[in-house]
Structure 1
Amino acid sequence: MCDFKVGDKVYFAWYDEPYTVKSGIITEIKCLGDLTYIMIQDSITHGSYLMLLEEIYRTESEIKAVLKREFYGKVNEVKKDIHTLEDLLKFMYDNDLTDWSSPHINGWQTDWVSRVAVRELAKEICGIELGE
């Protein structure tokens, strides 16, 4: 079962901010069937979050490593079919690197997975540094 207990400090990523690490204190643990839910009080906003057991971590470095693996898995998925300058240009022409579905910074959220993939491919294929 769960080796977490009420009062433990834990780290998690909230669905609306998938690559932002949050921390909080466990205030409640509930088991419903095969699922274990953890209620967490955010350390900064003091808001409450209901998370599944498998979505929380003991250390900040542990969740950051998981999020980095997940992010670069998505980047590599974008890169797998792009091998030439022509492929890269077609991808950039066909794909807006902004996620227009969710208002965020300056009205829209950037598609960082595609931007990072394009940056890496520009370096690999053309030797061009696009920045960070």
Structure 2
Amino acid sequence: MVYLNDDFEGGATNFLKDVAPLQSNEERRPRATPDQIRHKVMPEAGTAIIFNHRLLHEGETVTAGVKYMLRSDVMYTRVVGEDMDPNDRDALLLFRNAQAAEAEGEMGTAASLYRRAFKMSPRLAEAYGDDSS
């Protein structure tokens, strides 16, 4: 997202804590309370922010003026290289299957696949923060 102007009031982009039950404001829109905000980005013309949209975030209400921004998506798929260690490659494929299972709500399957992937590749476990290896 690129902020195109900053001649308005409010309108910050807030990144919220992972478990943050939101409160409805006077317009009945869910809003974070100050203690639920992990990080706040104040709009400044020309500033760009890039983040995973799975992160819980919100745009604060603009209280005066008009906020202009450019929003875009970055789409990518990691290409598994031939020079990758075969165990790491297999573990990465298990990891992707675990992510897909998790997205489908199959938590038991996902957990089993994550464990297998992390056990197979200590490098993958280290990269994704698994402390059990």
- Normalising by structure 2, we get a TM-score of 0.28
- Whose helix fraction is larger, Structure 1's or Structure 2's? 1
Q: Which has the higher contact order (CA 8 A, sep 6+)?
A: 2
- Normalising by structure 1, we get a TM-score of 0.28
- Whose strand fraction is larger, Structure 1's or Structure 2's? 1
